[in-house]
Amino acid sequence: MITISSETHAFLEKTSWGCLCLNCLKEIDQKVQSIQGEVFPAAKELKEGVHYYLENGFWVFTELYHMLRGHCCESGCRHCAYGFIKVKT
């Protein structure tokens, strides 16, 4: 059995995670706890390697960036923290 924080519970309500086994819940809870007290950064405060990295000249936002953002944009982001998978048509 695992006890998760109210912040993790609130985060999970916004996600569509497929697996909520004991190990995944522990990992998610640790990630949510690690961002407590942080705020979504303004554009000028984004740090390469923390909030994004560059790949072929494009910005790729990290899972941390998405968690700080606080919601899913449903664009199919590579590091979506909310479990969204865009279905290709």
pLDDT score of 1: 77
pLDDT score of 18: 73
Residues of the chain falling short of pLDDT 70: none
3-state secondary structure the chain: CCCCCHHHHHHHHCCCCCCCCHHHHHHHHHHHHHCCCCCCCCHHHCCECCCEEEECCEEEECHHHHHHHCCCCCCCCCCCCCCCCCCCC
pLDDT score of 56: 96
